[in-house]
Structure 1
Amino acid sequence: MSNNRKYLIFEDTKSTPSLHEIFDECIVAIEEGSTRLSNTRNEAGYPSYKCFRIQGREILVNAVLEYYLFKAGGSDFDYDKAVAFTEKMRKLCGWSWDIDTTLRYWVERVIRAPFFEQVNDSYGYPEWKLKAGEPSWQLSESYLRFACYIAISKVKYMGGDGQYAASEIFKIVTALGSKLPADLKKNGSGDLPLEIRQYKTDLVMCDANDVFATVKIKVKEDSEEAYSQVLDFLCNLLSYGFPSSYTIKFSSSEKNWLAIKSLPKKGVHQLFANAIKWQALHPQIENYARLAMKEFEWYNDLEDEYCAMPGTFAVFALGLLGERYHPLLCDYLSLCDGEHQSLQGDFVLAYVEQYGFTDLGLELYDLCDQNIQHLPKKLTTLYAKRK
């Protein structure tokens, strides 16, 4: 090699064919579960990276996956084997930068580059358009299925950030004539049992799609039992492993909203403003909130100043009831991403206006102040006048 680096990268297999044996051995070890993740040794001028150690050599994680996919390419590309190996890598390494970036490059190199060219839309933004003329060759269904597997994984493991990347993959796969994205939009990935993703009674209709991270809920009769069924559905869905960032599309003839200024009037807001009026449902609402609350995850249909962590409206609905749910409020205010979300300031303002700067109100103010870019001006004014 032309430098003093001791760890191996994929390009080394091109310049030094004898290294194929070490890479092949690493792949077998991963498939058999006989290797584990390690770190490269400290070398002057080089940071430490995640790697596998084989025959005393260190192979970077992305190098192993890139080598595997390179060897697997060709007319006999095996979708099932490619997914099985990638899943073993994911379980060893998590959906890490190494895994995600390698798979993104694979899509760009194998699926996009041969068939698409970059153009600008009417607003000057880049988009991908099929190249003129018929391609001299076509990708097999196995390649397109693997691209869709990558898109689904991005939704599962990257939260809101994965949604856009997945939609771009689905667009190019659809443009190549595949019906796979349409089938996934209709039926989901197939990983969720039917009884988990669909629920229908005389009172409600619920349907979830894990590929597009959407939950559709229709309440046919506004009653305690109807909302109890909805909450059970949501809790079962999240407990099973539904994507942590998602959209709730809710419809009901009754439209209530929480007494908090600036909250977006979206379906998920309406859902919990409706459900909160039944005291017997409050434990179910808290259960949903606890399952839904995850830092850096979002309701995907809320953007900009309305960004909200899942569970937000359930927490706010319970929080306005008083001190009983103070621990839940504290957990929420400590967890939410104050760099991107500001709705918590509107909630604390509404809480203080209702209950005043009690000891509990002061604690909520302090927690919010520590986890928000700018408190509402009216809230800071009330705080300054509290004595």
Structure 2
Amino acid sequence: MDFAFNEEQLMIQETAAGFLGKASDSAAVRTAMESALGYDAQVWQQIGQELYWPALMIPEAYGGVGMGFVEQAILLEQMGRHLLCAPFLSSACLATPALLLGDSEPLRETWLPELAAGTLTATLAFGQERNGWRASRQPSARPDAGGWRLDGEYDAVLDGASADLLILTAEHEDGRLALFAVPANQAGIERSALPTLDQTRRLARIRLTNVTVAPEQSLTLDQDAAALLEKTLQIGAIALACEQTGAAQRCLDLTLAYIGERQQFNRPIASFQAIKHRCADLMLHIENSRSVAYYAACIAQQVLAPDGDPQLKAELSEAAAIAKSEASEAFMLCAGESIQLHGGVGFTWEYDPHLYFKRARASEQLLGTPAWHRERLAALILESRP
């Protein structure tokens, strides 16, 4: 498997770095995270209607660009580097894969063109407990007049207060899961923003009260949606790992710039052997994270392909668990060391390392902690033994 970027991928990387360096610099991030929406609507419009990033891995038949998840991973790494405040992870990395992998062609034809154009934002809502959804009771789906009525509550839905379309997880009376594509303004849906540690990423609580859904809103028709939800969350975890890798690299870059200027005993502290060793350790963790994140992105790309190999299901599970656990720990370590090597000022409001530290801690918990993913990985390995 070739991990070297081709000419087109390098152009995507360069374009993303150039745009985000201006549109998501420190001042822009601080302005966006303090706004009511949580992101700059004008920047999101540029991302969707000029750069076509939400359309990147949507097939051309639905108005997309028709590229792969690896190209999206390149964007995500740059978004992590610049702490982009935008509903990209929720729309392009959770809702879009759910629609692509679902069984409903009419839903793809209805929603994917708008997602590709950037005129619609979406998210995935699911009940979770102890990092996962399997142990959690999902909102109920009760039969009603040829469709269903949904009742229940979701905690900590990514961009749940601002999304235009909600992919809702619900549980039938017989225990089967279902995923429904529901406009956020539908009657019976109540959304409230939650206070968060990471101010650059918004979460919300969503309450459903007698929300009516029709059979044509189901992503899996009459099939159990458990496998679809699992695959969607694994792809989301891989996307988050790519973002965390870019953010970890930025933490190291900020640190190197600072220690190259800070003087101690009439010399830059970057010249001290102990400091060099710590930075070398950070670089090693980042490279490990980047390697597994892009390997996992390659697997996700094959799974999302129209002729995706069903045999890759187990490999996707393993790749997602490794990528998310490695990237979470690398980002957390780099963010913590960045504050330490800044001599404490990194946690003051004027410096950026504290923003990365908060994103690192919040992202570590999002879509499964490292410990949880390693438990899943151990279970997968044991299950595969003869």
TM-score, normalized by the shorter chain, greater than 0.5: no
Identify which of structures 1 and 2 has the higher relative contact order when contacts are C-alpha pairs closer than 8 Å and 6+ apart: 2
TM-score (norm 2): 0.25
